[in-house]
Structure 1
C-alpha cells in the first residue's frame, strides 16, 4: 500500500521539492514514562494484528468479529473515505501539470440579396478548432505542498478506518458479553423464582398444618411476584444486545436471535495481561497516528499559504485553425500564440498574510490535538490496568459470598421446616443469595469487559485477519 501511495505522487513534485516554501515537517515527540504505573517495563511490540479475543475461547464470538470487520457499515464508510482521499491527492496536484483542451465548432451560413435566386446565394460551412495550453510553473511549491498535505490526509484516512475497526471490535465484543450476562441473569432469576415458589409451597403446607400464619403466605406470594416482575426486563435487555450485535455486523436486527438463544456462559479470558509500555501506543494506536498525520497535513498547508504570497508564472498558448467551404471555393486559416503571464500579488488587504497566520495557528492546534490524544491514550491504558488487575479479587470474593449465602439458605430452610426460625429469616436468606448471584454475574462480565478495554486501549487487533 505504501508503494502504491508513493507511486501516485507526481514526478513534478519531486523535481520542485528543492524550491518549496514553508516549514518542513518534523514528527512530534512527547515525554512519556518508561512504564505504566501498574504495568511492566516489557514492550509488547506490534499488537495491531493480534486477535486477542481468541483468549475467550469462543468460536462463535470469533466468527462474529471476523464477520463484523467485513460487513460493519461504519467500517465500510471509513474505507470509502480512503477512496475519496486518494482522489484528493490527484486533485491537489493536477494544477502542476500542463492543461490542454480541445475546442471545435462547425458553422453554416448563407449570404445574398433579398431578390437573389437560390442558385446565386453563397452558402458557407466553416470548421474551426483551437487547442489552448496552459502550465503554471510551481516556483514556490504551491502544488508540491498541496500534494504533501493531500498525502498526509490520505494517511489520516487510513488511520480513521483503523479507528473504526477498533471501535467495532470493542462495541461488538461488549455487546456479546452483555448478551451472555443477561442470559446468566435470566437463569439466576428463574432459579430464584423456582426457589421462592418452593418456599411458598412450603409455607402453604405450614399454614395448613397450623405452623404458619396467613401473613407468611402473603409475604411468600409477594416475593414470587416480585421475582416474576424482573424477568421481562431482563429478556428485553438481552434482546437489545442481540439486536445491537446484528446491526454492528451489518445485518437486520434480530438476525442472530435464534443463534444466540443457545445459552452459553459469560466469556472468561484465559490469557496473561500485557499492557506494554507507553511508547508502544505511538505505534499501535490508530487515533494517535491519525492525529500525527493531521499535524503533518496542517504543516504542509502553511507552505501552501506562504506560496500564495509570492509571484507565479504561467505559460499559455493557443493554436487555432479554421477551414471555410462555400459554393465559391475553399479557404483555410491558422494561427498560434504563446507567452508567459506573471501574477504578482501587491495589495490584497492582508488576506494572504492572514491565511498564513491562520494556517500556522491550525498547525499549532493540530499539535495540541496530537498531544491530547497521546495523553488520553495513556490515561485509558492506566485506567483499564487499574480495573482489570483488581477484577480477579472481586470475582473471587463474590464466589465465596455466593457459596456462603447458599449454605445459609440451605440451613435456614431446614430450620424453618423444623420450626426453629421464622419465614422472614428464610426470605432474607433467599434475597441474599439472589443479590450475590447477580453481583457475581455482573463482576464476571465486568472482568471480561475490562479485558476488552485494556486490549483496545493498547491498540490491539484491528489489523487481525
Structure 2
C-alpha cells in the first residue's frame, strides 16, 4: 500500500511539473493576446456592465406603460380627550387600523413615456458603440505592444550576431598576431569591441524583458515565463494598399463607432426636445382603490348591533360594557313603559368591521397646463440649442476621423519610404562590410576604419528593423480604419 501511495504521489508531482513546464513554454500569438485582453481587461468588463445597466433602463422605461399597484396598512393609538358631537369633552383611548389597495395608470402624458422608451433604446445602442470603441482601442494597444516585443527580439538577434562576428574576429586576429602579421594591439581592440557588443546584447535583452513586461501587464497575466511567438514578417513586396485617404474615410464613416456615437447623440437630442414639449399637453390618469378600517375603544368591548325583532330594518349602535349573553335577548325599556322593545345584541368585532367598512373608489384625473412661468418654453428652447451644439459634435467627429486617417496615411507612406531606403542602405552596408573584411585581413585597412564600417552595418540593420515594424503597424492601422481586422499573417 505504501509503495502504491508513493507511486501515485510521484505521478502527481510529475503531472504538476509537466503542466508548469507547458505554461512556461507557451508562446502567445497575436490573436491570443488580443482575445485575452478583450476578455479580461477591467475597462472592457466595466463597459460590459454599462450595457447591462442600459438594458435595465429599457425595462424601467417599459414599466411606465404598465399600471401601478400599491398596498397600505396603518395602526394608530389615540390618547387623551376630544370634543364630542354634543359639545362635551370625552376622555378615552382608542385604537384604529386600516388597510387599502391603490391602482393607477397614466393614460396620456404628451407621449413622454413613449419618448423615454425610445431614449432608453438609444442608450443601449450608445453603450454598445462605446463598448466597441473601447475594444478597438485595447486591440490597437495590444498590437502595438506585440510589435514592440517583436522589434526588441529582432534587435537582440542583431546584437547577438555582432557578438558572434566579434568572437570570430578575435580568433582570426589571434592567428595573425601569432604569425606576426598583426600587432597585439589589434587583438586588444577586438576584445574591447567584443565587450562593447556584449554590453549591447545585455541592453537588447533588457529591452525584450521590458517589452514583454509591458505586454503581460496589458494582458493582466503573470510576467514570469511569459513569451510571444516569433513571427517572420516578409516585406519583399512592401506597398500601400490605397492610393489616397478618401476611400478609407468613406468606409470608416460607415463602420467607426465614434461616428455612430455622434449620430446617436443627435437622435437623443431630438427626443429631448419631444420630451420637453410633452409638458405642453394635458396629463390623464386613471385610478382605483379599495380600503377598510377597524376602530376599538381601549378597555371596552367592541360595539354591538341592537336589532328590533319587530322592526328588523332598525339598526342602532350603542356601547354594551358587559353583555353577559349575546345570544339571548336583552330587554331595554323605552320612554313608554307600556310599549317595551325587545332587542338582540350582535358582536361588532374586528372581522365584522373590516367587512362592513369595505369601500371602493375609481376615478379619472386630468391635469391641463395653462401657465407655469415660461419654464416649459425655456426647457424646449434649451433642448433645441443643445441639439444644435450636438450637431456640431458630429461634424467635429468626422473632421477628427479624417485628420486621423490622413495622418495615419502619411505616416504609413513615410514608413514605407523609410523602409525602402533602409533596405537599400543595408544592402550597400553589407557589401561594404564584406569588402572591409577582405581589406582588413590583408592589412590594407586599420582596425579603426574597419570598426567604422562594422558600426555602419549594425546601424543599418537596426534602422531596417525599426522601419519594418513601423511600416507594418502603420499599414495595419490603415486597414483597421478600413474595417479589416488586424493580423500578422
TM-score after normalising by structure 2: 0.69
Match of 1:228 in 2: 198
Q: Where does 1:50-61 land on structure 2 (aligned, <5 Å)? A: 60-61=29-30
Contact 1:130/1:318 (8 A) holds in 2: yes
Cα distance in 2 for residues equivalent to 1:356 and 1:230? 68
Matched residue, 1:279: 250
Q: Distance in 2 between matches of 1:410 and 1:351?
A: 86
Answer 1 or 2: higher relative contact order, Cα 8 Å, separation at least 6: 1
**Cα pair 2:240 2:413 within 8 Å, conserved:** no
1:52: which partner in 2?
none
Q: Is 1:427 paired with 2:396?
A: no
Q: CA RMSD of the aligned region, Å?
A: 3.6
Q: Which shifted more, 262-271 or 373-382?
A: 262-271
Using the alignment, how far apart are the partners of 2:44 and 2:165 within structure 1?
47
Verify: 1:306 aligned to 2:330, yes or no.
no
Contact 2:147 2:473 in 1 (8 A): yes
Answer yes or no: is 1:239 the counterpart of 2:264. Answer: no
Q: Deviations over 1:244-285 (max 9, x none)?
A: 433444x4241661x42x644357699983674533222211
Are positions 1:83 and 2:107 aligned together? no
Q: Cα distance, 1:442 vs. partner?
A: 0.6
**Residue 89 of structure 2 corresponds to which residue in structure 1?**
none
> What SS does the aligned partner of 2:110 have?
coil
CA contact (8 A) 1:380 1:457 kept: no
Q: SS of the residue aligned with 2:483?
A: coil
1:82 and 1:375 mapped to 2: Cα distance?
Answer: 28
User: Does 2:165 align with 1:195?
Assistant: yes
Q: Residue by residue, what CA displacement relative to the aligned partner does 1:196-236 show, whole Å, maximum 9, x if unpaired?
A: 3444565677677484474x666555544443343444333
Q: Does 1:186 align with 2:186?
A: no
* Alpha-carbon distance in 2 for matches of 1:256, 1:375: 45
**Residue aligned with 1:102, SS:** strand
Aligned with residue 433 of structure 2, among 409, 412, 415: 409
Q: Distance in 1 between matches of 2:444 and 2:238?
A: 46
Deviations 1:331-368 (A, max 9, x none): 221233434152636334x5444433332232222222
Q: 2:264 aligns with which of 290, 293, 302?
A: 293
Structure showing greater Rg: 2
Distance 2:102 2:126 in 1: 37
| Structure 2: distance between partners of 1:125 and 1:134 | 30
Residue 301 of structure 1: CA displacement? 1.0
Match of 1:32 in 2: none
Give the aligned partner of residue 14 of structure 2.
none
Per the alignment, residue 151 of structure 1 pairs with: 121
- From 157, 165, 169, the equivalent of 2:139 is 169
User: How has the CA–CA distance of structure 1 residues 440 and 97 changed in structure 2, closer, same or farther, with 3 Å as cutoff?
Assistant: same
1:99 to 63, 68, 86: 68
Gaps of 5+ in 1: 1-57, 112-121
Q: CA 1:161 to 1:271, structure 2 compared with 1: closer, same or farther past 3 Å?
A: farther
- Name the structure 2 match of 1:336: 360
Cα 1:354–1:388 shift into 2, 3 Å: same
Distance in structure 1 (CA, Å) of the matches to 2:483 and 2:421: 31
Unaligned runs of 5+ in 2: 1-26, 81-91, 303-346
Between the two proteins, the alignment pairs up a number of residues equal to: 391
